[in-house]
Amino acid sequence: MPFIQNALALIVTLGILVTIHEFGHFWVARRCGVKVLRFSVGFGRPIWKRIGATGTEYVIAAIPLGGYVKMLDEREGPVDEDELEQSFNRKPVQQRIAIAAAGPLANFLFAILVYWVVFVVGVQAVKPLTGQIAEDSVAAESGVTPELTIVGVDGNATSDWTEVNLQLIDRLGDSGSIRLATLDEDGTAREFNLPITNWLSGQRDPNPMQALGISPWRPAITPRIETVVEGGRAEQAGLAAGDLITGVNGVEVQTWDALVEFIQASPEKPLDIEYRRLDSAETIQATLVPESRAVNGASQGFIGASVDVPEWPADKLMEISYGPVEALWESVVKTGDMAAMILTSLKKLVVGAISPDNLGGPITIAKAAGQSAGFGSEAFISFLAHLSIMLGVLNLLPVPVLDGGHLLYYFAELVRGKPLPESIQMAGIRLGMMLLGGVMLLAIFNDFARL
């Protein structure tokens, strides 16, 4: 069932983003008088197509991993003399620049629209309040304590955990220190400098907060099981929904976090547990052997059980909303910040400050899309906005075969007064295809490695 949900989420996600991107090219091309032969969402064999009033063929193809807009162009085939003025290659270079840039621009405008709607409607967020601080961690040694509200990272204001994490992600691979601005419960401002060196540069799927030794505050969760996975280690040990774990290896357990620590530290090691059935005072003893799974190169224990999470206290939540005009500005700023963060991450990836293991392909996108869809429409459209920005940024990279590569050629033509030699353009395209193909293969390899 999760596979089907993830696959459908991937198709919907890519379908929406590709349609938006290609519509940008299509709309501007039409305004510039270019004849569009085909507007395709997906590659390969068409599963649906229709001819529009202007002769454009609209297609949905079988492989939902991209799309394209095919325009009339003398370089791709003979063009009737009465249609030469509608040919893409006959248009002024300024118009060709506009057509190439329109796809990424459409992605950015879509993200701004999504964020605007979210900000106007309002979104509930969790206050960035510190919880448990790990012993001997960077945070503990710097003096960070529980129940501090993080109001800034490196001088950038943060109102919720999403903003805190984005600011921390921006520091991956860096050396120096991270400045945390906080407020005590009584409103007293405090600042901490957390030293870092090549921070998390070699890790796959790094967790910045965990690396600093900071756990976000959350309500204490009683170790009472809500569901068990069929055939999982919890079910094999006799556990069922409603059971309350009271002890592990003779140690009293009062919270779910304490139980998780025992489990994660004991892959394939027997644990003597004590628990009580729902509405029963009788203590039952059993042996539980957590399953071993690889997480960031290390083995962790899993038992296939979930817990009933209590509601968050109202004073630990906040409502983020703006008026229509202010929301528009905040949406533009957020889109710009996200684009800048993606560019910074790409730069660090190229210079080796971030591990290439963090590249993800269609499987990673599918899982993320499925998870965000499971959290509700708000989370899903926010995920769409983030992915749309990423698509826009990646397509603007000056790599031939991408929109940015075409723009590079057109700007060179603008400066020279004539197009680059055909041999140089073709060599660039071949190089771009090799580079893009290599990155895609690495991303797909990482996908299967994560599985």
Domains of the chain and any CATH numbers: 107-122+323-451 (no CATH), 130-216 (2.30.42.10), 225-310 (2.30.42.10)
For residues 420-440, give the mean pLDDT: 84
CB 144 within 8 A of CB 180: yes
Instruction: Please report the pLDDT score of residue 361 as a whole number.
Output: 62
Q: Which residues of 135-161 are buried (b: 16+ CB within 10 A; e: fewer)?
A: eebbbeebebeeebbbbbbbeeebbbb
d(CA 210, CA 150): 15
Question: Mean pLDDT, the chain, as a whole number?
Answer: 87
Task: Answer yes or no: is pLDDT of 256 > 80.
Answer: yes
In this prediction, residues 131-149 reach a mean pLDDT of 91
Ranges 256-270, 303-317, 382-396: which has the least confidence: 303-317
| Spatial CA neighbour of 155 closest among 187, 208, 193 | 193
Choose, from 22, 163, 274, 330, the residue flagged as catalytic: 22
Spatial neighbors of 305 by CB under 8 A, at least 6 apart, are 225, 227, 228, 229, 232, 234, 239
What band does 354 get if pLDDT is binned at 50, 70 and 90? confident
How many residues would you count in the chain?
451
Is the per-residue pLDDT at 72 higher than 70?
Answer: yes
Confidence of residue 219 (pLDDT cuts 50, 70, 90): confident
pLDDT of residue 360: 67
In angstroms, the CA 96 to CA 403 distance is: 11
Active site residue 81: no
For residue 371, the model assigns a pLDDT of 60
The CA radius of gyration of the chain, in Å to the nearest whole number, is 26
Place of tokens 């004539």: 418
Residue 181, token pair as written in the block: 């601005």
The two tokens of residue 102 are: 């329109």
How far apart, in whole angstroms, are the C-alpha atoms of residue 366 and residue 448?
A: 13
Higher pLDDT, 438 or 329: 329
- Per the CB < 8 A criterion, the answer to whether 71 and 33 are in contact is no
E strand residue ranges, 303-451: 305-307, 317-320
More confident residue, 441 or 70: 70
Q: Is pLDDT above 80 for 297?
A: no
* Residues 276 and 310: beta-carbon distance below 8 Å: no
The pTM for the full model equals 0.79
Give the whole-number percent of the chain exceeding pLDDT 70: 92
CA distance 168 to 258: 27
